[in-house]
Structure 1
Amino acid sequence: MGAAPEKDLQLHDARIEESAEDLYENAPCGYLSMLLDGTIIKVNQTFLNWTGYQREELLTGKRFQELLAIGSKLFYETHYAPLLRMQGFVNEINFELVRKDHQKIPVLLNTLQRRDAAGNPLSNRTTVFNISERKKYEQELLLARKKAEQATQAKADFLSMISHEIRTPMNAIVGIANLLRETSLSSEQQEYVRILSFSSENLLNLLNDILDFSKIEAGKMTLEERSFDIRQLIYNIVYSLGVKAEEKGLKVQVDVDERVPACLLGDPIKLGQILTNLLSNAIKFTERGGVTVALRVQELFPDAASLEFRVTDTGIGISEDRLGPIFEEFTQASYEINMKYGGTGLGLAINRKLLELYGSKMSVESTPGAGSSFSFDLRLKIGQEARQPDGPVEGVPDEQTLRGVKVLVAEDNEVNVFVIERLLRRWGVELEVVANGHQAVEKVTANAYDLVLMDLQMPEQDGYDATRKIRSLPEERFQRLPILALTASSRLGMEDRLEQAGFTGFVGKPFKLEELFAKIARHTSRSMPIERRRHPAREQAQEVSGSVTLSRSVNLKGFRMLTAGDPEGLVELLSITLSLCEHYKQEFQDALEAGSLKQFEFHTHKIKMTLELLQAHELRAALKEGKALLSEQEGDPARIQSVGQVIQRELDAIIDGLKMELRKG
């Protein structure tokens, strides 16, 4: 009876021993035991299967390092073995094993050194993992990544090519539309030109959105850091979009915390793009009520300010299930919104990616039918003194500023030459025109110019080669000469190529009048007359902001709120309003004389926001009466003439008041 349990126990021990041996021999990884010099003393069947060797071939004095490829053998001697001796173990080391048939296997090694009771090393136990499949997967990933990068580059190249092809004719369209505005046109023709300008600007904005998104996606967008006035930036954006709000009867308010520093360090172009996208969307999706742009100080530090930007509207709102997806590219809140309002759905996606450069993100709160509120936080350094912005000079530039400036224009497109010549000659610029890079180099060598406008794509010699040639000329004046590229392209990385070629900067085609004027003025040191016009406002800020009443029915309270206590912004806003009022005098007179209700309503709508800011109650009443008279089937000529005189008188009073305030500044 006692022999049976003993036999069962022996059988059990034998099974355990056989199972352990089987597990060792056929494990999914290779096992080796080696002496300290690498001599193999034990190896499992898995390792033998991988390498193609017989057990006897490896257990007759073969050293492990002899099975390694040359590069791995060097790494074994210089890194692996010393590290093993020093710390007693080595983990996750990549080697290449050479099979008996000379094929190579990528492997991963983990080695543990056995030591005696005194701590002296005895042998090494190594686990070997075959990572052939992993390497294959990694190669597939690398290949997929390379293909994705090639696809992204192909897309970028395609967009760059298309942008050039689209921008070249658009340069002519926008340029000719601007020139048409300067000629004598009938009321109907003026309406056609307005629609032409509006449509071309929309197409240009669409193109810019797509190119901006592609540039960010390719990692080519970076942040600059320079001084700027945040109040002035917000004012410029609000005023530039004011016409759209005015046309819809919306009230736009600016609420800036008094503690916001006057000068900050950051990228005003990217920040302006974010705010413009938000404000433009708010106006687009709001039919009644208004929009508020708010800037709050969350915390002030000795050298920085933590700020919250918020744009709130009373528009259509967004349902809760669409709040997340609206930040994705080419996505809008609904199909119906896309059909009604249009757009690419890229604005918020671009904002999200721009804010990621700042390490920030966009937040949104919205209620369908009640409005939306978009906000984001930024921490910006506090600057010492705001410099003149690099962007376009807002307002009405003094055209005498550029009188006498000598400019060479290198451009082969006849339409572009026509537009540029008209603009520059109107500003009193002395210019010469050449059709290719060779001629440009010859002219620059033989004559003294204040600035060169250089097209990039010209026959015989392009703008890049011509600029490099000019910069290589020995005289120092050729190094200082401002050379601005005229380009319809937005190729990713173009700025780097322009800089390498020696360009001072560039003007995109189609260019805006203010941008071209500002860049020529700045690079020829002719911007001082504009600055002198602004500078006294800084010295007499109290006088400007303290003088509120312009006439018996007009005051500056609305202007002061809009410019948030910025005296320079106030003076600039007065200048713009003065120019508009002088323009509206003739427009209203022409509409009344022609009996055109359509034109009268159009200009009444455009001046609506200005009337609200100035609180011009009598002029508003006169315009309302004029509209009623023109609506009658048989309007009374005498009454129409009378209301026309009232309109002219009220506009004259506003103009005189604005001029008086500007003389004080």
Structure 2
Amino acid sequence: MRRGNPLPDLPGGALLRLVPKLWPLLIVVLLGLGLLTISAYRVSSKLDDARIAQSDNTTWLIAQIEVELLKLSRAIDAARYGPVHSSGLGPVRQAFDVYFSRVSVIEGFISRPGRLNVQQTNADWQTVQAQTQILRAMVDVPDAALWVALPAMSGQLARMHRPMRDFTVSSLSLLVEGNAHDREALRGMLARFATVALALIGLLLGTTWLMLRLSQQLQRRSQEAERVRSNLEKTLSASLDGVILARADGRIVTFNPAAEAIFGYSRDEMVAADFAKVLLPGHLSDPQTQKLRDFLGGGLAGEAPQGRVVLTSVRRDGTAFPIELALATDRDSDGIPVFFAFIRDISEQVRFEASLREARDAAVEAADTKARFLAVMSHEMRTPLNGVIAALDILRETTKLSAKQARFLSIAESAAQLALDQINDVLELARLNGDVLIESPSAFNLTRVIADLAEQAMPLAQKQGNRITLDLPPEAMAEVSGMRRIFLRTLLNLVGNAAKFTHDGTIAIRATLLPDVGNRLLVRVEVSDTGIGIAQDKLHRIFDAFETLDSGYDRAVEGTGLGLGIAQRAVEHMGGEIGVSSTPGAGSRFWFTAPMQRAAQDVDTDQPLPDPQADASLPRHKVLIVEDNATNRIVVREMLEHLGQQVTEAEDGARAITLARQQAFDLILMDISMPVIDGLTATQAIRASGASADARIVGLTAHGLPEELRRFEAGGLPEVLRKPLTFAALTQVLSGPLPPAAESGIDAQVVQELRDLLSPEARQQALSRFLDEGDAFQAQLTAPAVQSAQLAEAAHRLQGAAAVLGAVALTRRLVAVERAARNADATALAAHHAVFAAEWAALRSALPRCLLQ
């Protein structure tokens, strides 16, 4: 399960997760503000310096000192050359004081650190200072001495003009350059301040935009969280499984309505309750419950139960019941371990599985019963079929037949022998429960039996417009010893399969004898056709059992899908191999090999015998035979014509409908399983309208199961003849309606065939033996100390005799008794005992009359 928060985070939680991401941005903003403050301070200082520089008179003083020197020179000249004592020496002394004060101030500026400090070493300035001191000495004298010194002072001033001018120019240059530099520095500082301010403004704008985005995202997350929370609550409320959310200490946080329905507790009762104490109490000791209890008791430490586990829990009323639980661990938004428990009540599932097991056991028992039934039926059916074969053999030996009669007799003998082989196969298959068939080797002529089989398959091939070609070794060289029945069964399945899927084509049978070690031969047989072929993706399963194109009554081809599967098993039992190659649309080639021994030559001779006469006592009917198998149509037509009937043939249901609407038939023998239109559909169409709407329709089928007979009756065919047909069965049909075997305690058709087949002495002997066995079984059934296994075996043995003699009701009763005995069901046995006594008494009275009189 994907890990994640058990519930959506609140908006505050989302904001708290965003704070760590905003720390770098906050630090940058603070640094920018600090830098901006420092820059502002420096700009302010520079502005103050500039403001101070504007009020300072340093430049004026330097420029003015030269003027003051000139004023002093003029004052001296005025005193010397003006009217005597007109103004006195006062102006001179005053002009010198002003000049001297200017020099003193400038000297103070120069002595302080600054741009003019470099002028301390200036030679012109030193000269001016020296001359000024000389003038000071001349001035600081009495007036009389000063008058005398005026000419010297005038000369001294003349010498000072040049150094004063140079000092003034250089000082002013220094001040101008310094002021320019200060202005440029201030300009740069202002530019940097503006840049920092703009950057900080941009950063603040970006921060504002980011905060707006975060605010929008936070709002969307808040809405999404609310929507998810609402969806989660609705999902938990609508969930059919119980969902419980609990913390690591087992305290329940969420308890959905399905959990309330499962356990019988309300949500208010379970919130904050202990999960393990309430739902997994200590008296539950199954391993899964204890394992989960240990996991929860350890604070979710260790490995949680994986997948869905089945364990036991309890409801509010104390009832223990099975649950299916899936556990998922996680952490909530605060980091606290939690777990989800997804719970399903599987009480119904457990009961259903128990009923399925019971049904499976019953199905296995029914399958075993069916297998035993098939074995019994196959075993008992061999007796009348052997009688048919014997009667045909007697007919051949005692009657002179025409060539046509001999041909049909051969077909009948071949079909009866094939039916006997198939019955023997079913018997062996039932005995071995699906194991391979068992047969002892016998001598036969390979070429002759293949040719006979091809003749038998010819009608089916011709029906599809096909021809069969043979490429066989000479008869003189084809005497072999091997498993004849299995060999022919394999070849018949392959030829029949080719005939079904080939239209207007060729079926080629080729056999070769390959020498092997000593007296052994390896027979290789190939059956090729020009039919529809097999797709490559189906070749790998073509030999699987029940692999057919269609299984309905109106299927395009016949077959149960067992033919190729039986062929493969038969070939493997013979010790050979089987294979197939095919191209869709171009045909298929099946082949198989069979190891055999050489045998001495043995040639059979047949003598045709005369044709017997028909029974003149039967009524004459116009009969329509509806049968898709050409061989069956030929046999039934000859049997009916022998019985003096007027016969018309239809190869499928569609043709039967057309003929029945055009002609009025007295009797229609309708095959059930046919292509184009099946027998049930054709019956309904015939009875809907047409000349034969009121005709008697009797079904022909190899299907004999009760459910099939009920289906036929519901489809409008209450009278059904089971294949293969006999003269006795046809005679009974021509004589009148058939008795419903499903409702009769004694099958009249079976009794009639026994009367026709067995002599009175044989019937009396069989009846006496059966009655003795029945009396013994009744005594055993009432014995108090009888063992169930012995009773089941006795019921099983008596079933076979009852089925042979046509006691269908008693046979069903014996099957039920055997099942109850094998299950040791005393109640059912007691019920069967009471019913069996009455049924046995009635049968003991009725069966002798039916069989002997």
Q: Indicate the TM-score class for this superposition, using the shorter chain for normalisation.
A: 0.3 to 0.5
The structure whose Rg is larger is 2
- Structure with the bigger RCO (C-alpha within 8 Å, sep 6+) is 1
As a proportion of its length, which structure holds more helix?
Answer: 2
As a proportion of its length, which structure holds more strand?
Answer: 1
Give TM-score scaled by structure 2 length: 0.33
Give TM-score scaled by structure 1 length: 0.40
